[in-house]
Amino acid sequence: MDFNLTEDQLAFREAARAFAEKSMAPHAARWDDEHVFPKDVLKEAGEMGFMGMYTPEALGGMGLSRLDTSVIVEELAAACPSTAAFITIHNMATWMVASFASDDLKQEIVPKLASGEWLASYCLTEPGAGSDAASLRTKAVRDGDSYVINGSKVFISGAGSTDILVLMARTGDPDSGSKGISPFVTPADADGISYGKNEEKMGWHSQPTRMVSLENVRIPASNRVGNEGDGFAIAMKGLDGGRLNIATCSLGGAQAALLRARNYMHEREQFGKPLAAFQALQFKLADMATSLVAARQMVRLGAFKLDSGDPEATLHCAMAKRFATDACFDVVNDALQLHGGYGYIREYPLERYLRDLRVHQILEGTNEIMRLIVARRLLDDGVAEAIQ
Ligand SMILES: Cc1cc2nc3c(=O)[nH]c(=O)nc-3n(C[C@H](O)[C@H](O)[C@H](O)COP(=O)(O)OP(=O)(O)OC[C@H]3O[C@@H](n4cnc5c(N)ncnc54)[C@H](O)[C@@H]3O)c2cc1C
C-alpha cells in the first residue's frame, strides 16, 4: 500500500477543502443552531460531484475509489461533520441502487441522485430492530406487478426532506431472518407514507431524523433492488463503505478540533506563559495527533481493502469504524478540554464537533456491533492472516 496520496487525490482534497471553506464552514454554526438542512449547499455539492463520489461515471457519478472518497469526505467533515455525514449516507444509498438495481431503474434514478437533484434516505432500522437488523418486520407482499409495503422505520436521516427511500423490507416468511429481506426504491411521497416529528437530537442538527410509517404503500415490482432475498447482503455491503464514510467524518471533525487546540495553545496565556509552554499540554497534543494519524491509517487501510476486493474488507471496515470513531471523539474531547471554559461555550465550535461526533459511535452499527463482527471473524479457524 502506497502511503502517499496521488496527484489526483491531492487535487480532490484541494477542491473539497475550497468548497467546504466557502460553502459549509461559514454556515455550519447557524445550521446547527437553527436546525437548517442546507439543501442548496447539497445541490452545490452535487455540482462538484460529491453526491455520487463512488457511483460509476456512466450513471453520472465520479467513479472514484473509496480511498479517493475518504480524502474528499474528510475535508467536508472538517467544516461540518453533520452535513458531511448526510452526504455520505446519500452516497451509500446511491451506490446501492447503482450497483444492484435493474438497468432501467438505474438509468431512471441514479443520475438524478448523483447530481444532487434528488436526495436519498437509507431505511434499515426499525423500532424493534436496531443492532439486530436482520429481525426487521416491515413487510413487502407481492401483488401482481407491485409490492405492497407495511411497517415502520426509525431514526431515518434526511427523512421528510428527501426524494427517495432505499428501504429494506421482508419479502420472505416472518422467520426468514437475513435471507428474507429485499431492498426497494420507494418514492418518498408515495401514497401511504407518513413522517414523524424531526427528532430532537444531541447533535447532527443540520439534517432531520424522522420515523417513517408505511401503510399499504404500493410500488412497482421493478423498484425492487437485486433478487428477492438478497437485501441483507446488499445492505451489509453498502454499510462496509458507509462505516468508512462515518469514520472519515470523525477524522475530519478531529482534525479541525486538533488544529484549533494547537492554535489556542499559542494564543492563550496563563501563569505568564502560553499554554504551549506547559509540557503536560504538549504531551496531550502529541497524543491527540498520534491517535488521529493512527485512526486515519486504519480508515485508509479499510478503504484500500474495499477497493482491492479483499475478502477481509468487512473485518477491516469494522475495525476502522470502531477505532476511528472512538479515537476521534476523544481527540475532540481533549481539544475542548484544552480550551478550558471557552471550549464549553457555543461561540467556539468545539462543543458542536463533540455533539456531532458522538453519534458516530452509535450508528451504521454501534461500536459494540463492530467488536462483534471483528471477534466473530477472529474466532473462526485459520484467520490469523486476516489481521496480518
Ligand atoms: C441520529 C441518528 C441517525 C440515524 N440514521 C439512520 C438511517 O439513516 N438509517 C437507518 O436505517 N438507521 C439510522 N440510525 C439508526 C442506528 O443505525 C441505530 O440506532 C443503531 O444501529 C443501534 O440500534 P438501536 O438504536 O436500536 O440500539 P440497540 O440495538 O437497541 O442497542 C442498544 C445497546 O445495546 C448494544 N447491543 C445490542 N446488541 C448487542 C450485542 N449483541 N452485543 C453487545 N452489545 C449489544 C448496542 O451496542 C447499544 O449500546 C440512526 C440513528 C441515529 C441516532
SS3 (DSSP) at 147: strand
Give the per-residue pLDDT at 387.
83
Question: Probe ligand 1: pick from 94, 362, 367, 371, max atoms within 8 Å of CB?
Answer: 362
Residues with CB under 6 A from ligand 1: 89, 121-125, 130-131, 155-157, 201, 204, 209, 359, 362-366, 368-369, 372
Question: Mind telling me the catalytic residues?
Answer: 364
Q: How far is the CA of 359 from the centre of ligand 1 (A)?
A: 10
Q: How far apart are CA 33 and CA 116, in angstroms?
A: 24
pLDDT per position as a tens digit, 110-162: 999 999 999 999 999 999 999 999 999 999 999 999 999 999 999 999 999 99
DSSP-assigned states of every residue in 242-267: HHHHHHHHHHHHHHHHHHHHHHHHHH
Question: Probe ligand 1: pick from 37, 121, 155, max atoms within 8 Å of CB?
Answer: 155
Q: Write down all domains in the chain, each with its CATH number in brackets.
A: 7-114 (1.10.540.10), 120-227 (2.40.110.10), 232-387 (1.20.140.10)
Give the per-residue pLDDT at 49.
98
Give exposure, 274-300, as e/b (b: 16+ Cβ within 10 Å).
Answer: ebbeeeebeebbeebbebbeebbebbb
Calculate what percentage of the chain has a pLDDT beyond 70.
99
Q: How far is the CA of 316 from the centre of ligand 1 (A)?
A: 20
Q: Is the pLDDT of residue 380 over 90?
A: no
Give the per-residue pLDDT at 68.
98
The stretch 23-40 carries a mean pLDDT of: 98
Give the per-residue pLDDT at 386.
78
Q: How far is the CA of 240 from the centre of ligand 1 (A)?
A: 16
The stretch 264-288 carries a mean pLDDT of: 98
* Ligand 1: nearest atom to the Cα of 89: 8
Q: Is the pLDDT of residue 382 over 70?
A: no
What residue's CA is closest to ligand 1, atom 6?
156
Extract the C-alpha cell encoding 15.
Answer: 477542491
| Contact predicate 174/137, CB 8 Å | yes
- The whole-model pTM stands at 0.97
Q: How far is the CA of 304 from the centre of ligand 1 (A)?
A: 27
